[in-house]
Amino acid sequence: MSDPLTIGRLYGRRMGHKLRGGQSALVEELLPQLSVPDGPLNSTVLFGDERPMELEIGFGAGEHLAGQAEMRPDRGFLGCEPFLNGMVGALQHIAERELTNVRLHMGDALDVLNRLPDASLERVYLLHPDPWPKARHAKRRFMNTGPMDMIAAKLKPGGEFRFGTDHPIYVAHAMMIMSGRNDFAWQVRTAQDFLTRPDDWVETRYERKARRLGHEVWYFRYLRT
């Protein structure tokens, strides 16, 4: 396996606008209760019992993570996002919906993936990853060989990797990366399979913005073989 943590450097801002009172309270009180602990991880460490787990990389404002967690309360959901304002968004969804099956990591998803046992995840989501459109920044894209090796290792056989984007350069890059692998089977029969959002795929903020701008959005589902 090539070293997946070589892209583990995070780029961009961690903090946007200042937090309001209620938001600071969520960060100070709820976040410590839901934070992924240090050290080796598994379902018992994270959720207190053995249950199927799913992980979202870069959940943005957390609406997809919370939506999935609400749909499947018997599963454990791990959300990773380095951006504090995104963390606040997720905490608000979790508090409003009284979700007890979500754990959060404010940082690089690779740090969490690296500490999970192999073949421990039912699903991994990567929705609208930062595109890094310049060719010289291609190594910063999450979909590269190292991180995909890591995702492949952590998914159970038959587990699912979902990836969505509206960015043509990212799609071309992703297709190139995925077509070189034999450990994922793309779930596609007709163009509708990647042009139409599956029913259980919650719309994200970036996706809504892309649609508003008139962009096409593409939805990819791969099963771990």
Ligand X SMILES: C[S@@+](CC[C@H](N)C(=O)[O-])C[C@H]1O[C@@H](n2cnc3c(N)ncnc32)[C@H](O)[C@@H]1O
Find the binder of ligand X among 72, 205, 211, 215 (CB under 6 A): 205
Residue nearest to ligand X (CB): 58
Which residue, 6 or 44, is less far from ligand X as judged by CB?
6
* Residues 109, 55: Cα–Cα separation, whole Å: 9
Residue 43's CB: how many other CB atoms inside 10 A?
17
Min dist CB 93 to ligand X, Å, is: 13
Assess 127 for contact with ligand X (CB under 6 A). yes
Residue of 130, 149, 183, 193 marked active site: 130
204 is in an annotated binding site: yes
149 is in an annotated binding site: no
Site residues (CB under 6 A) for ligand X, limited to 9-38: 10
C-alpha atoms less than 13 angstroms from C-alpha of 223 in its C-beta half-sphere: 6
Assess 54 for contact with ligand X (CB under 6 A). no
Assess 86 for contact with ligand X (CB under 6 A). yes
Give the contact letters, 128-157, x = binds to ligand X (CB under 6 A), - = no: xxx---------------------------
| 130 is a catalytic site residue | yes
Find the binder of ligand X among 68, 92, 120, 204 (CB under 6 A): 204
Assess 159 for contact with ligand X (CB under 6 A). no
Active centre residues (catalytic)? 130
Binding region for substrate: 134, 166, 204-207
Q: Site residues (CB under 6 A) for ligand X?
A: 10, 57-60, 80-83, 86, 108-110, 127-130, 204-207
